[in-house]
Structures are given as C-alpha cells and as structure tokens.
C-alpha cells in the first residue's frame, strides 16, 4: 500500500510514531549507564546507538533532550563518561521498563532490578547482566535544528565481551553473546545468522565466511 507525505502527517501521533520508527529496519538495543554529579546512577534503554567510525573508535546515539532521556544527557555532560551495554533476552523486559519516567532521585537500576557494576576506576556504571559492555568518553554533541534532537558522540575507552565470541578476523559474534534486535518502539527479536560474506569486489564471486 501507499502512504503519501500528507497521509503520514494525518496519522494519529502515536500511530505515526510507531510507523515511522519501523521504517529504518532493525535496531540496536542498548542500555546506557550514567551517574549524576550527586552519585545517583541512571540507566536508560536506547534503540538508536550506531557505529560512527573505527579509527578513532566512535559510537553515536540520538537523544531527545525534552524527554525521559534528559537525565542521561545531563549526566553525560556533567561527568563526561557513560557506558553502553548490550541487551540480551534475559534482561529485555527490565530494559524496556527503564523507559518509564522515574523521579530523578530514583535509580532505574533499583527500579527495574538490574545490577550496577563499577569496573576499575571508571566513573559510570555498567550493567552486570549484560555480556557486551563498552566504556565511553563524551566527545561531541551535535544538535539537529530540524527537530530538536541531539546526536551524542563518544569515544570507546574500554571493552568487555565474552572471549569465545571473538573471531580471529575481528568479528564479534553478538548473536552468540545473546544480543537481541529491536523493531519500532517496542518490538524485541532474537536473531539467527544466515551467513557472513567476503569483501565485495567487481567481477569476484562472494564467498561465505565460516
């Protein structure tokens, strides 16, 4: 079926949000951990974390400054550090619940029963129940004038992941680690690998990477 620009704008607000959020395809699902200057830990689910570059190792995510995300943004700006933690099936319901609008003196770790984990001297909390955890240093905030969102960019400081999921060529088998995928605003999906393929070149047949 066809939806024109006008038909999209005529949709009910929540219908439109659900539809437009479906259109990019499957999404990463991560919990972002941070801590306020008064030492209250914060945890929030994000489905917008993306790869920005490998050298330097940079990751980005989208934030709506006027939303429930505002504690995450404020903490990152105040302390300069945060963590990104992959969501797996065992914790996905708790992860979804972190999106609730808790008062600022409540830690979502307590509210949803996930465990804050402090590693070495890194100031921001990791999620103990997550198997892939990334420590980041805030680098840049880009405000998008078109709709008032911000893109937050950070540089990877340290990585924690299950050794048996790391392949010699550098590929980290996130499916084996239990990471799941998201759709729209509220869909959670397991994955099942089809294949990996060799680097594409003109006139060369692709090979399956075992």
Interacting residues with a copy of itself between 102 and 161 (CB under 8 A): 102, 106, 111, 132, 134, 139-140, 142, 144-147, 149, 151, 153, 155-161
Binding status of residue 66 toward a copy of itself by CB under 8 A: no
Q: 37 or 198: whose CB is closer to a copy of itself?
A: 198
Binding status of residue 198 toward a copy of itself by CB under 8 A: yes
Distances, alpha carbon 151 to alpha carbons 50, 59, 140, 144, 155, in Å: 10, 10, 8, 7, 13
For a copy of itself (CB under 8 A), the number of binding residues is 113
Do 155 and 58 form a contact (C-beta atoms < 8 A)? yes
Distance CA 192, CA 194 (A): 7
Distance CA 123, CA 135 (A): 10
Return the residues of window 74-103 that contact a copy of itself according to CB under 8 A. 84, 86-87, 89, 92-93, 96-102
Among 35, 63, 73, 180, binds a copy of itself (CB under 8 A): 180
Q: 46 or 75: whose CB is closer to a copy of itself?
A: 46
Q: 37 or 170: whose CB is closer to a copy of itself?
A: 170
Cis-peptide, bond into residue 56, ω within 30° of zero? yes
Q: 115 or 143: whose CB is closer to a copy of itself?
A: 143
Binding status of residue 170 toward a copy of itself by CB under 8 A: yes
Q: 37 or 202: whose CB is closer to a copy of itself?
A: 202
Radius of gyration of the chain (CA): 18
Do 51 and 72 form a contact (C-beta atoms < 8 A)? no
Cβ of residue 71: shortest distance to a copy of itself, in angstroms? Answer: 14
Distances, alpha carbon 57 to alpha carbons 36, 90, 132, 152, 197, in Å: 25, 28, 16, 14, 23
Among 23, 37, 39, 210, binds a copy of itself (CB under 8 A): 23
Distance CA 100, CA 71 (A): 12
Site track for a copy of itself across 25-64, x = CB under 8 A:
xxxxxx----------------xxxxxxxxxxxxx--x--
Q: 115 or 196: whose CB is closer to a copy of itself?
A: 196
Residue 163 phi/psi, 5-degree rounding, is -55, -35
């Amino acid at each position: 079926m066809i939806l024109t620009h006008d038909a999209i704008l005529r949709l009910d607000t929540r219908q439109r949000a659900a539809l437009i959020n479906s259109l990019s395809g499957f999404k990463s699902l991560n919990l972002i951990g941070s801590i306020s200057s008064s030492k209250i830990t914060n945890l929030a689910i994000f489905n917008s974390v993306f790869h920005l570059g490998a050298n330097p190792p940079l990751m980005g995510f989208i934030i709506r400054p006027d939303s429930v995300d505002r504690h995450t943004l404020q903490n990152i700006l105040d302390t300069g550090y945060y963590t990104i933690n992959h969501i797996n099936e065992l914790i996905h319901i708790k992860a979804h619940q972190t999106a609730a609008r808790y008062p600022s003196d409540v830690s979502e770790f307590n509210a949803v029963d996930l465990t804050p984990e402090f590693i070495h001297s890194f100031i921001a909390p990791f999620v103990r129940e997550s198997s892939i955890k990334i420590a980041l240093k805030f680098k840049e905030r880009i405000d998008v004038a078109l709709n008032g969102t911000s893109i937050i960019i950070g540089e990877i400081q340290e990585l924690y992941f299950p050794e048996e999921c790391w392949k010699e060529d550098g590929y980290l088998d996130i499916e084996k680690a239990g990471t799941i995928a998201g759709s729209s605003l509220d869909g959670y999906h397991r994955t099942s690998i089809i294949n990996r393929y060799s680097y594409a070149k003109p006139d060369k047949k692709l090979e399956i990477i075992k």
